Amino acid sequence: MQVHGLKDRTQDLRKSLNDSLEGDIRDFLINEAELHTYDDLTKVNPVTPSTVLKCLQARYSAKVFYTHAGCTLVALNPFQPIPHLYSLDVMREYHSAPQPQVNTLKPVSTSLT
């Protein structure tokens, strides 16, 4: 009898956590206009496949093809040439950075014209 009661409580707790997470995801995704502003995916909360992919999709739609995920750079293929993506100013900034591997520089963004 105790095992059955524990199983029921575990299922109730799991359902409660799932409902809470689904609510958090809905709350996060409700403001779609700001999803492209997340230049580092570690700032996404909650971190789920849905929230991360929605942020990447929003950044792609805003023509922002590079996004940090902590110290990792996520690059999305724009499937078209972007001639001004690597301007001389941007290349100089990254080249002269004392530690380019440290996440102090924002991911490069561009707008297609």
pLDDT in tens, 38-73: 999 999 988 889 999 999 999 999 888 889 998 888
* pLDDT at residue number 113: 42
> Which tokens go with 34?
């700001």
Please give the backbone phi and psi of residue 72, each rounded to the nearest 5 degrees, phi first: -100, 140
What CA–CA distance (Å, rounded) separates 98 from 26?
Answer: 40
Say what the pLDDT of residue 89 is.
81
* Secondary structure (3-state) at 27: helix
Is the per-residue pLDDT at 100 higher than 60?
A: no
Under the banding of pLDDT at 50, 70 and 90, the label for residue 1 is: low
Q: How many Cα atoms within 13 Å fall on the side-chain side of residue 7?
A: 4
pTM: 0.65
